[in-house]
Amino acid sequence: MTFQVSTRDGILYLTLDTPNSSVNIFTHEAARQVLELMSGPDLNKIRAVVFGSAKPGSFINGTRLLFAQAANTPADVVKSSEILRNAFLAVRRAPVPTIAVIRGNCWGCGVEFLLNFRYRIAVDTHDTHFYMTELNDYLLLPIFGAPYNLPHTTGLKETVDFLLRGERWSAKTAAGNNLINEVAAGSADVPDFIERVIAGKVESCMERRRDFTWGKDEEDIVSKTRAWIYRLPPVYQRVYSDCLDLVVQAAKQTTIPEYIKRHSLIMAAENICAELTRSAFSFFYIRQTASILVRDPNPPAGYRLSFPVQGHGIAGLFKGRILDGVTIDDRGGDSSTDENIAAISFMPYREKGTDPGGGPGNMTSGAQREKHNIMVELTLNPGPIVNLVSRHTSNDGKQSARRATKSFDQTFSKVWPPAGPPEATHQSIVKETVEMILYNPFPFSQSYFFEAAVEKNNTVHFRQAISYLLKAGFQVAVTRPGAGKTFGLNHLWAAYLYPLAAYILRGGKAETVNFTLREFGYVRRPHDLIANLDKNTLAHMMRPYFPGSPRQSEIIEALDLLEEPGFAGAEYNGEIIDAQCIALLAAVYGNLQERCFPHPAAVDLAAREVLDFPLRHRSLCGFLTKARVKTLLENRQSLARYLNRRDLEQAVHFLEKGRNFYL
C-alpha cells in the first residue's frame, strides 16, 4: 500500500511512503487509499487525521503528471485527474480535524494537497521547503486549485511571488506567509501540536484567511506583475498571464464559486495538452538522468558530519541545509575573513561489532575511529570556487597530510583564470591533496547547482562529499578538467557570451541581442551573467574565443553594453542565435569528446541551471541535432563574422563524423 495506516489514542495516522521511489509521489493508488479512508464508517470515531511522510527528505514532490503526457485532449486530462481532485476534496471536507506534518520537500501538487488541510506544521530541517514547480520548471498551470486557494491563504503579493516568480519558502517563511500554522524545531514537537489542535487551541489555517478590499495597492501589484510578464519570452507570456488572471479573479471573491474552480481546471487541462508544455516537461526526464549519473548506488552509511563554518557565502548556504547528525560550530572571527573560509569534516565511524559497510565484523571496542576533514576554501572574486581538500586525522588529534604526486589544487589553481590578472588568480591556502572543486559562476546564496570538478571520482571522500551535497538538496554535475584545464561551465558560458560580444564589436546593438534572446526563449539575459563576474577577468578568459584579435579593452566595452537589459524598439536577428548555437555546439561536442562531462544529460542540466537554456526547446543537446547544424552551416560565411575558426571546424566535424547526442 502507498500509505502506512495506524491508529493510536483515537488518532488516524496516514504515512505516505511511495514504493520504489526516493521521493513521495501522490499517485492514483494514493488517491484511492485516501478516498477509502476518508469515507470509512468509523471516521467519526476518530479524534483527528494526521498525514505525514516516511521519507525524511520528501513530504510530496508532485503527482504523476506523466498521465498528462499520454493525454490527447483536455477532456482526457480532466478525466485522469478526477480521482486526485476527489481525494484532495475528501481531505478538505473531512468531519474531523485534518493535520499535515511536513518534513522534507513540499513541491507542486504537494503544496496544493497541503492547502486542503485545516492544520499544518512543518519541521524545520534543511530540506523542508515549499516550491511551486508547475510554471517555473514545466510551464504548467497548476491543476489542483493553487491559483484560487493561495490568494486568501498567503495574500496577493505572496501568491504572485510564490506561484509565478518561483520563490522557494523555508518552513519559517511559509509560517510567516500563513501557508502553515507553526514551525517545529524537531519531530519531538509535533505531538504537542496535535494535542493542542484536538483541544481546540490552534486556529485553523482556513479560518486565518487573508481577506482584503481590492484597491490601489492590489492594482499596483497586478500592474507590476504584468510588466514583469511582458519581459518574459513571448511564447511563455500566455501561460503566465492566464495564471495571473486566475489569481486575480479568485482574489476579488470572498468565497470561491464553482464556476471559477471549473474555469481553472479547464484552462489547466488545455495548457497540459499544449506543445510548449510537452516540450518543457520533457526536461523532467533529463533532470532525472543527470541525478542518476552522480547518485552513489551504495551511499556511505554511518558517518557523521561536524560542520564548523564562518561567514556567509557558501558557509551560510550550507548552514541552511543541515542534515540530521550534522552539528555546527560557529567560529566567528574577523568580518573581513567571514566569507573566505569554511570547513566541513566528514567523520566516518564504525559501531562496535560492525565493519565499515555495516555488516558483521571483528572490530574490538578499542578500535580507533578515523576522522576525515574536507577543508573548504572559498574565493568570491571573480567567481565562487570551493576546493574540497582531504586530510587524514587520527582520533588523538594529530594530523598527517596525505601526500600526492600531483595536487589537483596545484593544477587547478592555474585554471581560474589561466595566466590572468594577478589580483584575480586563485591562491591556495591549504596544501594537502584536493579531491574536488565546486563551482558555479553565480553567487552561492542563489545556487542549487554545482559543477564538481574532480580528478578521480571513486575515492571515499568524493563519494561522501557528493552524498552530502545531494542529501542537502543540491544538484551536481561531475566533470573532469578538459582541454585548457578549465571548468566545463566556463566552456559553456564563454560559448554563450562571446558571439554576442562579437556582434556588439561589429557595430550591433545590445537591445537587438536582448530582444533576440527573449524571442528565442531565454528568461535570463547576458547582464545576469556579466553582473556576477569581474569584467577584466571575464574579458581575459573570453579573448581567445573571438575571431580576430580584439583588444581586452574593446571586449570590456562590449560587455559594458551587454550589461544593459533593455530591448525596446529592437528587432529579431536570427544570426545572433545561429552563431551562439554553433559556439555552444562546439563547447558541448568538445567537452563530451574529452569526457569533461560524462553524458549529454549532465551538459543539459548545466545549460539549464546556469545559462537558462529555454524550456521551449527541450534541452541544449536535444536541440543541437545534426539536421539543425546542417541548416546552420548553410550560412557559414556570414556566421564567421562572429565565430572563431575552431568552433566552425568543430561543427563541420560533428556533422561529418558525429552523431546526435540523444538517439
Q: Over 70: is that where the pLDDT of 400 sits?
A: no
Cβ(117)–Cβ(90) under 8 Å? no
Distance CA 340, CA 264 (A): 49
Name 527's Cβ contacts closer than 8 Å, sequence gap at least 6. 562, 563, 564, 565
Report pLDDT for 296: 64
Could you tell me if residue 239 is inside a domain?
Answer: yes
Compute the average pLDDT of residues 368-385: 38
Between these two residues, 547 and 56, which has the higher pLDDT value?
547
Single-letter amino acid code for the residue at 648: L
Pairwise pLDDT comparison (382 vs 656), residue with the higher score = 656
72 occurs within a structural domain: yes
pLDDT tens-digit profile of 102-112?
998 999 999 99
Q: Is the pLDDT of residue 3 over 90?
A: yes
| Residue listed under C-alpha cell 552561492 | 444
Q: What is the mean pLDDT of the segment spanning 454-483?
A: 71
The confidence score (pLDDT) of residue 337 equals 33
Least confident of 56-70, 87-101, 204-218: 56-70
* C-alpha separations of 12 from 98, 116, 338, 573 in Å: 10, 17, 49, 62
Residue pointed to by grid coordinates 502553515? 180
The dihedrals phi and psi of 472, each to the nearest 5 degrees, come to -80, 5
Q: What is the pLDDT of residue 273?
A: 86
% residues pLDDT > 90 (the chain): 52
Residue that wins the pLDDT comparison between 533 and 303: 533
Is residue 43 located within the same domain as residue 143?
Answer: yes
Mean pLDDT, residues 481-503 taken together: 84
| Per-residue pLDDT at 352 | 34
Evaluate if residue 506 carries a pLDDT over 80: yes
Domain count, the chain: 3
Mean pLDDT on 4-11: 94
Is the per-residue pLDDT at 439 higher than 70?
yes
Both 64 and 211 in one domain: the answer is yes
Q: Is residue 159 in some structural domain?
A: yes
Give yes or no for residue 316 having a pLDDT over 70. no
Q: Based on C-alpha coordinates, what's the Rg of the chain?
A: 27
Q: Where are the alpha helices (DSSP H) in 397-477?
A: 408-412, 460-471
Q: Which three cell numbers stand for residue 541?
A: 578568459
pLDDT in tens, 575-623: 999 999 999 999 999 989 888 898 999 999 999 988 999 999 989 999 9
Report the predicted TM-score, pTM, of the whole model to 2 decimal places.
0.80
pLDDT in tens, 60-71: 987 755 555 667
Domain assignment present for residue 384? The answer is: yes
CATH of the domain at 544: 1.10.1040.50
At position 608, the amino acid (one-letter code) is R
Domain end marker among 481, 501, 530 = 481
What is the pLDDT confidence band of residue 484, given thresholds at 50, 70 and 90?
Answer: low
Place of cell 533529463: 286
| 154 and 121 in a common domain | yes
The pLDDT of 466-483, averaged and rounded, is: 74
Task: Identify which of 386, 518, 393, 401 has the alpha carbon closest to the alpha carbon of residue 453.
Answer: 386
The residue from 251, 281, 311 where one domain ends is: 281
Provide the pLDDT confidence category of residue 475 given band limits of 50, 70 and 90.
Answer: confident
Residues 338-358 have a mean pLDDT of 35
- Average the pLDDT over 368-393 and give the result: 38
pLDDT mean over 32-46? 89
**Looking at per-residue confidence, does 224 or 466 come out higher?**
224
382 upstream amide cis, omega within 30 of 0: yes
359 lies in some domain = no
CB of 565 within 8 A of CB of 536? no
pLDDT the model gives residue 207: 85
Q: Quick check: 304 pLDDT over 90?
A: no
Task: Based on the fold, state whether residues 270 and 321 are members of the same structural domain.
Answer: no
Looking at the DSSP assignment, which residues form a beta bridge with residue 343? 375
Q: Are 555 and 542 in contact (CB under 8 A)?
A: yes
Higher-confidence residue of 331 and 361: namely: 331
Looking at per-residue pLDDT, the higher value among 317 and 543 belongs to 543
CA distance 444 to 120: 31
The reply to whether 234 and 350 lie within a common domain is no
CATH classification at residue 126:
3.90.226.10
Angle at 136 between CA 241 and CA 80, to 5 degrees: 85
* Mean pLDDT of the region 313-335: 48
Is a pLDDT exceeding 50 seen at residue 396? no
**pLDDT given for residue 609 in this prediction:** 87
Query: Is residue 393 predicted with pLDDT exceeding 60?
Result: no
Kindly state the greatest CA–CA separation across the chain.
Answer: 81
Instruction: Decide: 130 and 174 in contact? Cβ < 8 Å.
Output: yes
**pLDDT band at residue 445 using 50, 70 and 90 as cut-offs:** low
Q: Among candidates 437, 413, 429, 423, which has minimal Cα distance to 382?
A: 423
The values of phi and psi at residue 217, to 5°, are -60, -45
The arithmetic mean of pLDDT across residues 72-84, rounded, is 90
**Residue linked to cell 488572471:** 245
Asked whether residue 361 is assigned to any structural domain, the reply reads no
Residues 443 and 495 in one domain: no
Residue at a domain's end among 233, 255, 281: 281
Summarised one tens digit per residue, pLDDT across range 152-204 is: 999 999 999 999 999 999 999 999 999 999 999 888 899 999 999 999 999 99
Residue 286 belongs to some domain of the structure: no
State mean pLDDT over 509-538: 90
Residue 340 reports pLDDT greater than 50: no
Residues 30 and 72 in one domain: yes
Q: Cα(56)–Cα(171) distance, rounded to whole angstroms?
A: 14
Helix axis angle, 488-505 to 552-562, nearest 10°: 90
Q: Give the torsion sign (CA, 312, 317, 320, 324).
A: negative
Higher pLDDT, 44 or 371: 44
Residue 663 lies in a domain: no
Provide mean pLDDT across the span 321-338.
43
pLDDT confidence bin for 282, thresholds 50/70/90? confident
Do 262 and 117 lie in one domain? The reply is yes
- The predicted model gives 63-90 an average pLDDT of 82
Residues 327 and 399 placed together within one structural domain of the fold: yes
Residue 108 · residue 134 · CB < 8 Å: yes
Full residue range of the structural domain in which residue 419 is found: 293-354+367-481
Cell 574529452, located at residue: 594
436 and 530 share a domain?
no
Q: Based on the domain organization, do 49 and 152 belong to the same domain?
A: yes
210-228 pLDDT per residue, tens: 777 899 999 999 999 999 9
DSSP secondary structure letters along 284-351: HHHHHHHHHHH--SSPPPSEEEEEEE-SSHHHHHHHTTPPTTEEEEE----GGGTTTEEEEEEEE---
**Whether 2 contacts 30, CB under 8 Å:** yes
**Predicted confidence (pLDDT) at residue 306 exceeds the cutoff of 60:** no
SS3 277: helix
Q: What are phi and psi of 34, to 5 degrees?
A: -60, -45
Give the whole-angstrom CA distance, residue 32 versus residue 460.
Answer: 44
Question: Average pLDDT over the chain, rounded to whole?
Answer: 79
Q: What is the pLDDT of residue 332?
A: 42
Total residues found in the chain within this entry: 663
Same domain, 260 and 310: no
